[in-house]
């Protein structure tokens, strides 16, 4: 099972290293980790996708809470909006361009750069959508993929 946890931390140097070190030392597996500032400049939000069971999730949460610079840990695995952004460079010879543009439109993705025989496509969505798009593009020859990792937010009004 994969869990997505949101971690509010003090926006200070070294905090990322502390969090990463904790995961390594306790043997928890990070699937993806993103970090960025929040509405408050002094607070950053990390979104961490971790593989494991309930017990692992419980220990991850408790151990993270022990870090002095961690302010809040919440499980956003369920009932949440999840998004990831992916840039991919795909071969686009003139005879295939039409098809690629069409697929791009279906996925509500965007072509953000056009070169002589390749495109850079930007696609956002949940993990499944991005995986599906990448799979489709494979047929044309993917040259490069860059994914941001997941961010997530629980639906409904903020408690």
Residue 22 interacts with another protein (CB under 8 A)?
yes
Of 60 and 86, which has the nearer Cβ to another protein?
A: 60
Q: Extract the tokens encoding 66.
A: 């022990």
Alpha carbon separation from 89 to 41, 112, 135 (Å, rounded): 33, 10, 13
CB of 75 to another protein, least distance (A): 15
Of 12 and 143, which has the nearer Cβ to another protein?
A: 12
Find the binder of another protein among 63, 74, 124, 131 (CB under 8 A): 63
CB of 43 to another protein, least distance (A): 9
Residue 35 interacts with another protein (CB under 8 A)?
no
CB of 1 to another protein, least distance (A): 18
Residue 10 interacts with another protein (CB under 8 A)?
yes
Interface residues with another protein (CB under 8 A) are 9-10, 13-14, 17-18, 21-22, 25, 55, 58-59, 62-63, 65-71
């Amino acid at each position: 099972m994969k869990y997505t946890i949101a971690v509010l931390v003090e926006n200070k140097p070294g905090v990322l290293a502390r969090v990463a070190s904790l995961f390594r030392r306790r043997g928890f597996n990070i699937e993806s980790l993103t970090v960025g500032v929040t509405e408050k400049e002094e607070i950053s939000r990390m979104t961490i996708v971790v593989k494991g069971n309930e017990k692992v999730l419980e220990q991850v949460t408790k151990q993270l809470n022990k870090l002095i610079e961690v302010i809040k840990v919440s499980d956003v695995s369920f009932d949440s909006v999840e998004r990831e952004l992916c840039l991919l460079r795909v071969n686009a010879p003139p005879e295939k361009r039409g098809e690629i543009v069409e697929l791009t439109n279906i996925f509500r993705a965007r072509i953000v750069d056009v070169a002589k025989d390749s495109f850079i496509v930007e696609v956002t969505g949940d993990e499944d959508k991005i995986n599906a798009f990448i799979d489709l593009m494979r047929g044309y020859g993917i040259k490069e993929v860059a994914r941001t990792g997941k961010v997530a937010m629980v639906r409904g009004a903020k408690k």
